[in-house]
Structure 1
């Protein structure tokens, strides 16, 4: 699975990791239950006399193994889908554990299986050990599986405790050890998962830094270069309009030269805040393209709607100006506005160039104005 398919939300990622681990660890586990049953049945005193029982057990364990293999991971990586898959897969695990627990009890209680009871005991120890060390991601479900594996046999041994006391005490002690080992394995699994979550959080933070302009907290040019073609392709598929507004602060170099770069940075931050107040829809993408040039991507927005939004921004910016050290400085911007037109724009670059030409036309016509492409 690619990195893009990995859920980014912590809870969804935890379930995704658990589902991945559970799937890997149960893929071949089912076949060993089947092999163990064939050994228990095959080494019984008269397996040919228990043909119906033997074939029935074979079909049962083969079916449970087949269901595990057929239970593919969900394509949807949501918390709900992953939790549903885990619940169903654990139902198969617990069903297999119960089936084997009953087999173990039968091998201890039926004289015709006395010759293969040791095989059943060793298999039970092996299955329970694997459960404690490999399925500790869900501690209480794993404990339930251990109980299902052991309890029928322990009850049978308890019923015949006079003859089986040594085996009963030994298995009971080993069961207690497995509970302790399971608890430790669960803590180790959770610690590893916490490390993965921390790495995921750090990766998300780094991606945010890479995509965000540190001064204005708007998207940067890197984000624009990735987002613009994707939004354009989506608009073409859906048939919805996509408008682009390019903004350039008028005479910004004079602010830097006269008041210094710190004041210039304050001006850029104030300009970005004004953009957030005017282009405030959740779907709008606000970006700093470099220097004093900014952009806004407006999905599902016609050319006229985009022009009105741009004009409203221009008027409010010109009316409020820029507060600097107790003085009100005039602050205006030139804006180019365009809407994607398949007949004119054969690529994202062509669309951008057309809107960029409108921006330069606004600057050439005297600045502080909106020009549509």
Structure 2
């Protein structure tokens, strides 16, 4: 699954991982229940006499296996969808365990299976051991399934305990061992989950740093180069408007020359903060493209709406000059604005060039103004 579709909150990730692991580990389990029953049946004293039970139980395990294989993970990764899938899948697992437990008890009780009761008992031990080691992600449900697998057989042995005290005692002790193993496996699974989530958080942090300008905390050029073509493709496919705003701080070199680079950095940070104040829609992506040049990607935004927002930014700068300690300069900006047009723009490069030319025209014709991208 792509990294950006993996849930990153603790609870959501735990559910997603549990569903993934449950699906992987249960995929072939039903095959062995079916195989174990067929062996138990065929090695009984008279399999032909047990034909109705043998065929009927085989069909039941075949149906349960088919239901497991057909029960695919949901495409959605929200909590509700994952919980619903886990509830249904665990019902299949528990039902399979119950069917086997009842059959094991019948094999132990029925003299016709005296030649194959050991096959069924060893299979029960194997299934419950696999449950304790492989399905410890949900401890309560795993314990319930182990009980469904195990207790009917113990009950059957208990009916004839004076003849089968050895197997009864041995299986009871092994059940206590399985419960201890299940507890330990559950702790180890949760610890592994916590470590995996921590690694994902670190990866997300590194990804964020690689796409963020360290000074202004806006998206950087790498983020722009990654996101801009994707937004253009989306605009082409869905015939949706996409506007691009390019901003350049006027006479920024003078700020660095007269007040120093520290003051220049303060102006850049203040300029970015003002951008966040004006371009504050959730859909807008604010970026520092390099030096004193900034950009705003505005999906689902027509040219006229983008122009109004850009003009309000110019007006806001004029009405409320940027406050930077140690400086009294008033900062203005030149802006180019354009909207993607499939008839004129063959791709993202064409749109960027039109808007960049508009920005250059704004600077050339006096600065502190906005120019719309020409045809």
Q: Which deviations, in whole Å up to 9, do the C-alpha atoms of 1:261-313 show, x marking residues without a partner? A: 11111000000000000011111111100000000111222212111111111
Runs of 4+ in 1 over 6 A off after TM superposition: none
Aligned to 1:287, the other structure's residue is in SS state strand
Summarize the alignment of residues 232-247 of structure 1 with structure 2, pairs less than 5 Å apart. 232-247=232-247
Summarize the alignment of residues 297-316 of structure 1 with structure 2, pairs less than 5 Å apart. 297-316=297-316
Structure-1 separation of matches of 2:84 and 2:286: 38
Where does residue 207 of structure 1 map in the other structure? 207
Could you tell which deviates more after superposition, 18-27 or 55-64? 18-27
The CA deviation at 1:5 is 4.4
Structure-2 separation of matches of 1:326 and 1:216: 19
Q: Residues 124 and 150 of structure 2 are in contact (CA less than 8 Å); yes or no, is this contact kept in structure 1?
A: yes
- Give the structure-2-normalised TM-score: 0.96
Structure-2 separation of matches of 1:109 and 1:343: 81
The CA deviation at 1:4 is 4.6
RMSD across aligned positions (CA): 1.4
Structure-2 separation of matches of 1:337 and 1:9: 38
The CA deviation at 1:328 is 2.7
Summarize the alignment of residues 162-201 of structure 1 with structure 2, pairs less than 5 Å apart. 162-201=162-201
Q: Residues 132 and 179 of structure 1 are in contact (CA less than 8 Å); yes or no, is this contact kept in structure 2?
A: yes
- Is the aligned partner of 1:226 residue 2:226? yes
Structure-1 separation of matches of 2:243 and 2:326: 37
For structure 1, which runs of at least 5 residues remain unmatched after alignment? none
Where does residue 78 of structure 1 map in the other structure? 78
Aligned length: 373
Structure-2 separation of matches of 1:322 and 1:54: 85
Where does residue 146 of structure 1 map in the other structure? 146
Where does residue 12 of structure 2 map in the other structure? 12
Structure-2 separation of matches of 1:326 and 1:252: 16
Shift in alpha-carbon separation, 1:222–1:216, aligned structure 2, 3 A: same
For structure 2, which runs of at least 5 residues remain unmatched after alignment? none
Structure-2 separation of matches of 1:24 and 1:324: 58
Could you tell which deviates more after superposition, 4-13 or 69-78? 4-13
Structure-1 separation of matches of 2:4 and 2:330: 46
The CA deviation at 1:8 is 3.6
Could you tell which deviates more after superposition, 36-45 or 98-107? 36-45
Aligned to 2:344, the other structure's residue is in SS state coil
Where does residue 257 of structure 1 map in the other structure? 257
Q: Residues 321 and 328 of structure 1 are in contact (CA less than 8 Å); yes or no, is this contact kept in structure 2?
A: no
- Give the structure-1-normalised TM-score: 0.96
